[in-house]
Amino acid sequence: MSLFDKYINKLKKQKLADEAVYIVTEDSVSIYGGDVSAELMHTANELKAYCLLYIRPSEPFMTALEKAAEGGEFAPNDSETRTFLHTVPVADDFADVSQALKRRKAVFVRGHGIVTAAPFGAEQAFIFASSVLFSGFVKFFSDTGEAALLGKSCDTESALRLLAEYIENFHHTELPELDRDILLSDESILSSMAQAGRATVELGLVDSFFGNISVCHDKNIYISRTGSSLDELEYEIDICPTDESTCTGLTASSELASHRKIYETPGKQVILHAHPRFSVIMSMICVEDCENRGKCHYACIKKRYVGSSPIVPGEVGNGPRAMVNTLPSAMRDNDSVTVYGHGVFTVSASDFNDALRLLTETETAALNEYQSILLASQTSTRSPR
Amino acid sequence: MHTGKILSVNLTNLSWNILPLEKCIYDKFIGGRGLSGHLLGTYLENNPLIFCNGPLTGSGYQTSARCAVMHINPKTGGLFRSDFGGRFASALKNEGYDGLMITGRAESCISLVIDNGVRFADVPRGYATVSPGADRNIKYCKIISDGFFTSHRGGTGTMMHRMNLTAIGIRPSGAPQAPDTSAYEDIERLINAAPSLTGRLGIGKFGTAALYDLTRARDILPNTFFNLPQPAANTNACALGETQSVSCGGCTIACRKMKNGLRVPEYDEFAMLLCMGVPFERIIETYNHCMKQGIDIITACHCIAQSGMDPEEFLYDIPEEFYNGSDRFAVKGVELPAIAPNGALGVALGYVTSPNGADWTTAMALTHEILRKPVPTDRQSAEGKAVINIAYENAKAASDSLPVCRYALFAVSLEEYAKTLNTTAAKLAECGSDIFMNEINIIRRLGFGIETDRLPQGALTPEQQTGFDAELKKYHRMRGLA
């Protein structure tokens, strides 16, 4: 199976897209995944991009994207959009796609779906498309949630309908039983990580290319590599000595520094990090007037929670605004911490069962809190004044 | 952004004049490397030595304190292109020039000073400088900028010696402030998100020698093509202990390192010297000796392998028969750097298609094959690398023309750089393609045909060679070179 077919299957299996087509232009043109409209083909010819991916998102993502795009180009304040996409341009039809793709990685076309252009091929195009999917979803639900909380006019009805559809198709609370004695050998550690990563993706808690996972054992941190898929971690784990006596961990997750600092607290053995959609959304919904508004992702000083998971600010990786300065201290007293607009980190003292349970519980709490906001808003709108 | 002027100096008659440039030249070639290529192509018969800054020079953007240098390679007769850090580029711009083109040969050794005009006099203390390494004999002599920064490979120092040019000094400009723009923030966010740049094990902490552990673990160090034993695992950048960081201008990565007042070797030099058997405890001292002499360590280590001599004995007294380097493991006469082609086939393809000869910094395949950015690719396979290398060659050519540092491309793409110039990534890539193809045209004029796009005999296994050749053909078709 080609890489193109692999990612088309992945998009469909994860119920992210109803249609997915790759147009691949090298010294000849190949098409994977079905028929291509003349308009899209024209775009591919015009751009001469190596790899063009078109997806028609499945529901509720398509409607969420349509609504996010109502005001044109959009840019929610989540970490993925801020760091990698910057903004998501919106086109009215395929004729406008090539212009948008000359400056951005992906574009949303009203009534059709997402088009991305990727010089590195199938995998990169898949990442761009799933990032836009995430971005549009977060944009619609965070804007609607915040408006509802402020009592402003918003499309509560659509949000509740899409939320119900999302819960039915994507929210799972039944947890698989994961390996228990994971520290027996390198092999048992690596296979337990691959198993937990796969379970995290299958539970819909992260799109496969995001998130990371680690185990600390015997002066080593076993951590997923940067750019690895959580559902395909076999051979994708770096073993980094805690004394930093080698740089082989240079390809480790960009959150290695945070993981390392978290493990400085005794009793933490494994870390699981995912981007559950509603935990991210709820971490961004805040209506308090504050001097740091607009800088919430790195300077939030309010005590806020998703369920019982405290929310901390922090950017990806390193630097003065990075989560390495906020997350590890918050994790000293909490086994689940949510990073603003980014995702949830959970820890456990033994294996991944508790970490996965905490992740799921945080997301369930986020969904319930979100639903309550919408329902309360609906009730107050309907109540006679 | 641009001054529209190139300072042209003729050393034969000690004269100078200003070449004005049309806006359309900048629209196509941007600045830096692109502009250098335009000037070299235009004045090729005069055998010029060219230095160019670019539109981001002096802007305060991260990693933009780079100066492009280009000329005919005195060792191979092909194209030499490199860049270096320090104050030279911004000082040149501050004097009102986008480029400096030097031709001719002075009767006796002189220095060139640029401060509100041109003088041939000793360089005043504190000026931004470029000077050749001390070794006048070798054809692979490098330059040193501000006494600390060097070009990636050798040849420019040889050019300066031939011209009887002892130093170039320019009155320094003030340090630029970081711009308060969203483009700066976007770039900074990506730099901070990249483990290879600012991570705990990244080049910001350990210098570019941090890459050594990765290439060693993948068995792609130069010992594989020299058929030598692999150096020990504990002789790595971490084992050098605490170092001090030095930044090229306002770079926030600061990958240049010092220890006890001496420079710590860069990746290629570190790997080469270790593979040759230079004792780990003497590697910094040996590196600094080579830097002062201007010795291109990559070339010198190929000579050491060929001669079978003790490496330190060789480097402290280079035998005359090795003044021209070695061409046993070379592409277009340029010796392979410290990544073995048989373990990274995208890197190998980049070696043969680079107008520079064997050079991993032209197609930057290390980024995806080893560092997994922006996405990992299968380093054991050539398949699909033609199209990826073309995209990266174009991106690298454009970013070298802004100019920004090659290591920034581990994390930042043309999409972010386009914002600094209010243009699009697609437009920058188009310029990158023009810049690259201009260099191809130059090497054709210098006698390097498509048949010189080949690896040294035996660099790949026969199975690898078949796939590699097919991908190379595809590359040539896609570039319109077949």
CB contact under 8 A, A247 and B213: yes
CB contact under 8 A, B372 and A86: no
> How far from B400 is each of B22, B361, B429, CA to CA, in Å?
20, 10, 12
CB contact under 8 A, A120 and B368: yes
CB contact under 8 A, B201 and A104: no
Given a contact cutoff of 8 angstroms between Cβ atoms, the answer to whether B224 and B205 are in contact is: no
Whether the per-residue pLDDT at A208 is higher than 70: the answer is no
**pLDDT tens-digit series, residues B191-223:** 999 999 999 899 999 999 999 999 999 999 999
Q: Which of B218, B349, B372 to mutate to test the interface with A (most CBs of A within 10 A)?
A: B372
**pLDDT tens-digit series, residues A209-244:** 789 999 999 999 999 999 899 999 998 999 999 999
- Give every CB contact of residue B261 below 8 A, 6+ residues apart in sequence: none
* Count of other CB atoms within 10 angstroms of residue B420: 20
**pLDDT tens-digit series, residues A107-120:** 999 999 999 999 88
Name the pLDDT band for A47 (thresholds 50, 70, 90): confident
CB-based burial, A226-257: b 16+ in 10 Å, e otherwise: bbbbbbbbeebbbbbeeeeebbbbbbbbbbbb
The answer as to whether B155 is a domain residue is yes
What CATH code would you report for A186-372?
A: 3.40.225.10
- Please give, rounded to a whole number of angstroms, the shortest distance from the CA of B9 to a CA of chain A: 40
Predicted local distance difference test score (pLDDT) of residue A60:
97
The answer as to whether B262 is a domain residue is no
Is B189 in the A-facing interface, judged by CB distances under 8 Å?
A: yes
Is B426 in the A-facing interface, judged by CB distances under 8 Å?
A: yes
The answer as to whether B385 is a domain residue is no
Predicted local distance difference test score (pLDDT) of residue A381:
67
- How far apart are the C-alpha atoms of B184 and B417, rounded to whole Å? 9
Is A44 in the B-facing interface, judged by CB distances under 8 Å?
A: no
For A20, the enclosing helix (H) or strand (E) is: strand A17-25
Q: Which residues in chain B touch residue A319, judged by CB atoms under 8 angstroms apart?
A: 188, 191-192, 198
Whether the per-residue pLDDT at A91 is higher than 80: the answer is yes
Mean pLDDT of all residues in B53-67: 96
The answer as to whether B156 is a domain residue is yes
Query: By three-state DSSP, how is residue B49 classified?
Result: strand
Q: What is the CATH number of the domain that holds B147?
A: 3.60.9.10
Whether the per-residue pLDDT at B65 is higher than 90: the answer is yes
- How far apart are the C-alpha atoms of A222 and A241, rounded to whole Å? 9
Number of cross-chain residue pairs from A and B with Cβ atoms under 8 Å apart: 142
> How far from B270 is each of B155, B214, B287, B290, B305, CA to CA, in Å?
20, 13, 8, 12, 16
Nearest to A249 among B201, B474, B478 (CB): B201
CB contact under 8 A, A103 and B425: yes
Name the pLDDT band for B64 (thresholds 50, 70, 90): very high
Given a contact cutoff of 8 angstroms between Cβ atoms, the answer to whether B154 and B253 are in contact is: no
- Give every CB contact of residue B325 below 8 A, 6+ residues apart in sequence: B75, B138, B139, B140, B296, B299, B302, B303, B333, B335
Is B109 in the A-facing interface, judged by CB distances under 8 Å?
A: no
Given a contact cutoff of 8 angstroms between Cβ atoms, the answer to whether A82 and A317 are in contact is: no
CB contact under 8 A, A257 and B196: no
Q: What is the overall mean pLDDT for chain B?
A: 96
- Interface confidence, given as ipTM, is 0.92
Predicted local distance difference test score (pLDDT) of residue B233:
87
Name the pLDDT band for A11 (thresholds 50, 70, 90): very high
The answer as to whether B116 is a domain residue is yes
Task: Map out the domains of chain A as residue ranges.
Answer: 3-140, 186-372
CB contact under 8 A, B192 and A316: yes
The answer as to whether B28 is a domain residue is yes
- How far apart are the C-alpha atoms of A114 and A55, rounded to whole Å? 5
Measured between CA atoms, the residue of chain A closest to residue B217 is A248
Domain enclosing residue B149, as ranges: 5-170
For Cα atoms B82, B380, A4, give the angle at the middle one, nearest 5 degrees.
105
CB contact under 8 A, A26 and B206: no
Is B199 in the A-facing interface, judged by CB distances under 8 Å?
A: yes
- How far apart are the C-alpha atoms of A273 and A270, rounded to whole Å? 10
CB contact under 8 A, B371 and A250: yes
Mean pLDDT of all residues in B153-168: 97
Is B272 in the A-facing interface, judged by CB distances under 8 Å?
A: no
Q: Which of A3, A23, A103, A247 to mutate to test the interface with B (most CBs of B within 10 A)?
A: A247
Whether the per-residue pLDDT at A160 is higher than 70: the answer is yes
**pLDDT tens-digit series, residues B329-387:** 999 999 999 999 999 999 999 999 999 999 999 999 999 999 999 999 999 999 999 99
Mean pLDDT of all residues in B443-458: 97
Whether the per-residue pLDDT at A384 is higher than 60: the answer is no
DSSP string, B151-192: -SSSSHHHHHHHTTEEEEEEPPPPPPPPP-SHHHHHHHHHHH
Is A104 in the B-facing interface, judged by CB distances under 8 Å?
A: yes
Predicted local distance difference test score (pLDDT) of residue A207:
84
Measured between CA atoms, the residue of chain B closest to residue A254 is B195
The answer as to whether B219 is a domain residue is no
Name the pLDDT band for B15 (thresholds 50, 70, 90): very high
- How far apart are the C-alpha atoms of B205 and A226, rounded to whole Å? 18
Nearest to A317 among B194, B213, B371 (CB): B194
Measured between CA atoms, the residue of chain A closest to residue B390 is A119
Q: Which residues in chain A touch residue B377, judged by CB atoms under 8 angstroms apart?
A: 120
Q: Which residues in chain B touch residue A225, judged by CB atoms under 8 angstroms apart?
A: 372, 376
CB contact under 8 A, B189 and A247: no
Whether the per-residue pLDDT at A383 is higher than 80: the answer is no
Query: pLDDT > 70: what percent of chain A?
Result: 98
Is B186 in the A-facing interface, judged by CB distances under 8 Å?
A: yes
Q: Which residues in chain A touch residue B376, judged by CB atoms under 8 angstroms apart?
A: 123, 225, 227-228
Mean pLDDT of all residues in A159-185: 95
Given a contact cutoff of 8 angstroms between Cβ atoms, the answer to whether B449 and B434 are in contact is: no
Domains A3-140 and A186-372 share a fold: yes
**pLDDT tens-digit series, residues B119-141:** 999 999 999 999 999 999 999 99
Given a contact cutoff of 8 angstroms between Cβ atoms, the answer to whether A326 and A312 are in contact is: yes
Over the Cα atoms of chain B, what is R_g?
A: 21
Name the pLDDT band for A385 (thresholds 50, 70, 90): very low
Fold of A3-140: L-fuculose-1-phosphate Aldolase (3.40.225)
The answer as to whether B204 is a domain residue is no
- Please give, rounded to a whole number of angstroms, the shortest distance from the CA of A209 to a CA of chain B: 10
Cis, bond preceding A60 (omega within 30 deg of 0): yes
Q: What is the overall mean pLDDT for chain A?
A: 94
CB contact under 8 A, B201 and A227: no
Query: pLDDT > 90: what percent of chain A?
Result: 88
Nearest to B424 among A102, A248, A315 (CB): A102
Predicted local distance difference test score (pLDDT) of residue A210:
87
Say how many domains are in chain B: 1
Q: Which residues in chain A touch residue B186, judged by CB atoms under 8 angstroms apart?
A: 86
Is A294 in the B-facing interface, judged by CB distances under 8 Å?
A: no
Nearest to A103 among B194, B234, B424 (CB): B424
Given a contact cutoff of 8 angstroms between Cβ atoms, the answer to whether B184 and B61 are in contact is: yes
Given a contact cutoff of 8 angstroms between Cβ atoms, the answer to whether B213 and A250 are in contact is: yes
Predicted local distance difference test score (pLDDT) of residue A372:
97
Name the pLDDT band for B148 (thresholds 50, 70, 90): very high
Given a contact cutoff of 8 angstroms between Cβ atoms, the answer to whether B237 and B206 are in contact is: yes
CB contact under 8 A, B375 and A123: yes
Nearest to B391 among A119, A123, A318 (CB): A119
Q: Which residues in chain A touch residue B208, judged by CB atoms under 8 angstroms apart?
A: none
Query: pLDDT > 90: what percent of chain B?
Result: 96
Q: Which residues in chain B touch residue A106, judged by CB atoms under 8 angstroms apart?
A: none
> B430: burial class by Cβ within 10 Å (0-12, 13-18, 19+)?
middle
- Please give, rounded to a whole number of angstroms, the shortest distance from the CA of B436 to a CA of chain A: 17
Is B211 in the A-facing interface, judged by CB distances under 8 Å?
A: yes
Given a contact cutoff of 8 angstroms between Cβ atoms, the answer to whether B389 and B365 are in contact is: yes
Predicted local distance difference test score (pLDDT) of residue B482:
87
Name the pLDDT band for A380 (thresholds 50, 70, 90): confident
**pLDDT tens-digit series, residues B171-190:** 999 889 999 999 999 999 99
Given a contact cutoff of 8 angstroms between Cβ atoms, the answer to whether A271 and A347 are in contact is: yes
Nearest to A124 among B192, B238, B375 (CB): B375
CB contact under 8 A, B415 and A103: yes
DSSP string, B9-33: EETTTTEEEEEE--HHHHHHH-SHH
- How far apart are the C-alpha atoms of B371 and B197, rounded to whole Å? 11
Predicted local distance difference test score (pLDDT) of residue B249:
83
- Please give, rounded to a whole number of angstroms, the shortest distance from the CA of B240 to a CA of chain A: 10
**pLDDT tens-digit series, residues B311-324:** 999 999 999 999 99
